[in-house]
Amino acid sequence: METLRIIRLDDHPAVRFAATELKRYLTLATRDTLQIQARKRYRAASRAIWLGVPPDLPATELATDSTHDGFVIAMTTDGGYIAGSNPRSVLFGVYRYLETLGCRWPRPGSDGEIIPSLDAPLQAVHTVEHATYAHRGVCIEGAVSYENVHDMVDWLPKLGFNAYFIQFREAFNFFQRWYEHVGNPLLRGRRFSSERAARLTTRLRAEIKRRGLDLHMVGHGWTCEPFGIPGPGWFQHEGPIPEEARPHLAQIDGRRDLWHGVALNTNLCYGNPETRRIIVQAIVDYARTNHDVDILHFWLADGSNNHCECPLCVDHRPADLYVRMLNELDAALIAAGLDTRVVFLVYVDLLWPPVVEQIRNPSRFILMFAPITRSYSSAFATAAANDVALPPFERNRLEFPRDPASNIAFLRSWQEMFTGDGFDFDYHLMWDHYKDPGQMASARVLHEDIQRLRDIGLNGLVSCQVQRVFFPSATTMVVMGRTLWNREADFDGIVADHLRAAFGEDGPAVKAFLEQISELFAPPVLRGEGDADQQQTAAAAWPDVAAVVADMRPRTAAGRTDARPAVARSWDILERYLDYCLLLADALLARYNATPDAPAKAWAVFNWARAQEKDLQPVLDLFELQHTLGPVLGIDRKQLESRH
């Protein structure tokens, strides 16, 4: 048989990578011989798959705006083409074509690949798709190895994500937590250096760009590092504060000092023009030397209720001084000849919009709405937000909204001033999923949130989340990716398809089991939102977890022997998850009843997770699990980080 040719009409790294991926998976599926070739002109030919972007391919169905991700698959049993509206969309199209052939990726990594055995790599397919939202990304958080993040970046375009955000300049804190094994004395950690973090981040940036994904960078750090104060993470500052930096720190209660000793959480004297100039110059210098960065984040400090009270600042809202600085940054970037797009943050104290300043060049900026204090017991309620009045701004005495409707009311107040691009920066998979062990209730809220983003004037989501979030499955992330690509995608259809891929023909049984687990653990109660009656009802249900787990045991035992390695691994993860559910239910009940053995039962959960981490490392973030559930189970966070 004639050799199948994969022909590139574009030399962009993402198209090159798309051709490599198509060849790799088709070779594994067919054991056929394939060749990758480069051409300058399209001519229909048998036994050939052409890859490229318009006008090189006759994909007239694609949107004319190349920034709008979309693809056309036009294939027959004799050959055809996959065209993308831009280079990364060619990669999206390749993965979608492979899905039609039977490929699935139920989680990141080599143990998360399902590749069918095919007689022929060419099938008749005609598909045209365009993404609903422009911003579809993930932000690094938690505790990670380089492999964790690489595998995540590799997996994201398979779900239609188009962006990855590396916080800070080299993501030190997130790597350090894993490589030093913070919170797990059973593993021997080694000191992790900023130099190593920089090397890993450089490699990671190259992998992001190789796939054509938007690279987001920095966010935190602009409020300390330009002043000679390191800000690699949420650490207590060691050593003296440079004397030349002290006048720039926020004055609170008459003192200029680091906020609770953490540089990253310390706001500055933004009313001081010299303070603003130093920050602006640092951002311009970074943009000038980091041309691979597509979107640069400029955030203020990570603390709250800690803004400067000096005469230069006290009569201005933080948002007014922030917008003044954004305008100064825009002018400086124009002077430097830089077209860098900049994200500004609507978050904690900055939820209260400016009352004087206006953003003068909206096309430069992207609004990032970060409702970190919201509850995930309900989705964005667009209509209810109309009836919410913003509370008055009281400097350093603010209370932040929990219900989604109040959060949207704050967003709308900003949108009265800024009508440009914007996205949601949310935390569904940062901490909250640990409070919904089955993750099905929270996945439904996430699905509804994404569907409503357009209704609240936002153009996507960048998920601030742990990277090891696949215990017991990747369901929530798959829901996120599929719904961001197509907000009309049906929740139950997404979940059924994913769980069938991950667990085989018993996927429906796994779905029913996870829904039961979500209901029994009563996530609102674990979030601290339930009243006394709801807490009592939840506690009465926790003993029922044992019966539900027992019913699932025979399936997990059989599933672990599945001939498909990725499916067998899914069942192996679920088998361990059953043990976790039993321990957690027992600990919650003991905590509710305040029995003498409650601390021991809480520690049993964490000690089990610590003992399992070596094998479950790619799917479960022990660091954030402990930090999230420690307070729920009555264990102090400092104890959880103890090495002893």
List, for residues 567-576, the tens digit of each pLDDT value. 999 999 999 9
Rounded percentage of the chain residues whose pLDDT exceeds 90: 95
In the predicted structure, residue 640 carries a pLDDT above the cut 90:
no
Domains and CATH numbers, the chain: 4-130 (3.30.379.10), 135-502 (3.20.20.80), 504-640 (no CATH)
Average pLDDT value for residue range 87-114: 97
How many residues does this entry show for the chain? Answer: 644
Q: What is the mean pLDDT of the chain?
A: 96
pLDDT of residue 382: 72
List, for residues 476-500, the tens digit of each pLDDT value. 999 999 999 999 999 999 999 999 9
In the predicted structure, residue 72 carries a pLDDT above the cut 50:
yes
Confidence of residue 33 (pLDDT cuts 50, 70, 90): confident
pLDDT of residue 155: 98
Q: How far is 99 from 97, CA to CA, in rounded Å?
A: 5
In the predicted structure, residue 63 carries a pLDDT above the cut 90:
no
CB distance 440 to 446 below 8 Å: no
In the predicted structure, residue 349 carries a pLDDT above the cut 90:
yes
List, for residues 143-187, the tens digit of each pLDDT value. 999 999 999 999 999 999 999 999 999 999 999 999 999 999 999
Nearest partner of 496 among 516, 482, 484, 510, judged by Cα: 510
Q: How many CA atoms lie within 13 Å of 135's alpha carbon, on the beta-carbon side?
A: 28
Average pLDDT value for residue range 334-343: 98
Q: Compare 244 and 120 and report the one with higher pLDDT.
A: 244
In the predicted structure, residue 642 carries a pLDDT above the cut 80:
no
DSSP letters, 367-424, are: EEE--TT--SSS---TTGGGGPPPPPP-TT------SHHHHHHHHHHHHTT--S-EEE
DSSP letters, 260-295, are: GGBGGG--B-TTSHHHHHHHHHHHHHHHHH-TT-SE
Supply 556's token pair: 């997990």
Q: How far is 296 from 340, CA to CA, in rounded Å?
A: 7
List, for residues 259-271, the tens digit of each pLDDT value. 999 999 999 999 9
Supply 309's token pair: 């009270």
pLDDT of residue 2: 73
In the predicted structure, residue 644 carries a pLDDT above the cut 50:
no
pLDDT of residue 383: 67
Q: How far is 384 from 408, CA to CA, in rounded Å?
A: 9
List, for residues 452-467, the tens digit of each pLDDT value. 999 999 999 999 999 9
Instruction: Return the exposure string of 19-28: e unless at least 16 CB atoms fall within 10 Å of the residue's CB, then b.
Output: bbbbbebbee
CB distance 619 to 571 below 8 Å: no
